[in-house]
Chain A
């Protein structure tokens, strides 16, 4: 599978500010990446599919204007949480499909805390 790096691993910000999270595929060119959100003691919820060179595809109920996704290159996708509020505090995780069938590698996640 791919080697995936996610940054930052944790971030604390004030309410109303914007936070950018990066997901890098270090050894594999990914035309697609996936962004998930996980609240404490809960499972992963798919937020959106990041598509290189085109608009992201958002899941139902996810605000595209609040969670901006940019997949500018084959190795980097970014998720920007705009005008963050305490309810946006969560664990954000990206995943990258690999070369083989059914192969998906997850980043280590980014813990966002909004004060």
Chain B
């Protein structure tokens, strides 16, 4: 069974601080996706990384895929209260048409 270990599970920081969320696995994924989810809603895709070593930036968010495609990180610079939410990493299982395995999630709270 493929597993994704996401850490930390809870993070409470002050506005303006930086943070990093990690996802690690012993398995190789064909791609890794990061989602953000608001309470009572479905996850919304932030980014997909496919190539080992790939780095993608989305405004203040930087996503990195490990060289071996087993791990990924999300770094937020100068966090704002609007960044508060549940962040989920999800690995795509090879050749299974979109089947995703999710990490445990990181509940982020950014205080003004």
Binding site for B on A (CB under 8 A): 1, 4, 6, 32, 34, 36, 41-46, 49, 60, 91, 93, 95, 97, 101-109, 111
Q: Which 7 A-B pairs have the closest CB atoms?
A: A97-B98, A106-B42, A43-B105, A102-B48, A44-B102, A102-B31, A43-B102
Cβ-defined contact, A104 with B42, below 8 A: no
Cβ-defined contact, A102 with B33, below 8 A: yes
Interface of A, secondary structure class, is strand
Known contacts A102-B31, A102-B50, A109-B42; decide if A32 and B107 are in contact (CB<8 Å). Answer: no
Indicate which residue in A1, A43, A102, A104 contacts B88 across the interface (CB closer than 8 Å): A43
Binding site for A on B (CB under 8 A): 1, 6, 31, 33, 35, 40-45, 48, 50, 88, 90, 92, 96-105, 107
Indicate which residue in B6, B45, B103, B107 contacts A104 across the interface (CB closer than 8 Å): B45
Q: How far is the CA of A111 from the CA of B41 in the complex (A)?
A: 10
Cβ-defined contact, B97 with A97, below 8 A: yes
Chain B's nearest CB lies how many Å from the CB of A27?
16
Cβ-defined contact, B100 with A34, below 8 A: yes
Nearest CB to that of B104 among chain A residues? Answer: A43
Q: How far is the CA of A44 from the CA of B100 in the complex (A)?
A: 10
Query: Chain B residues near A95 (CB, 8 Å)?
Result: 42, 98, 100
Cβ-defined contact, B40 with A102, below 8 A: no
Chain B's nearest CB lies how many Å from the CB of A87?
20
Chain A's nearest CB lies how many Å from the CB of B97?
5
Interface contacts beyond A93-B43, A106-B42, A111-B40: sample of 12 additional A-B pairs, CB < 8 Å, sorted by A: A1-B45, A4-B42, A42-B104, A44-B100, A46-B99, A46-B101, A60-B1, A102-B48, A102-B92, A106-B35, A106-B43, A108-B42
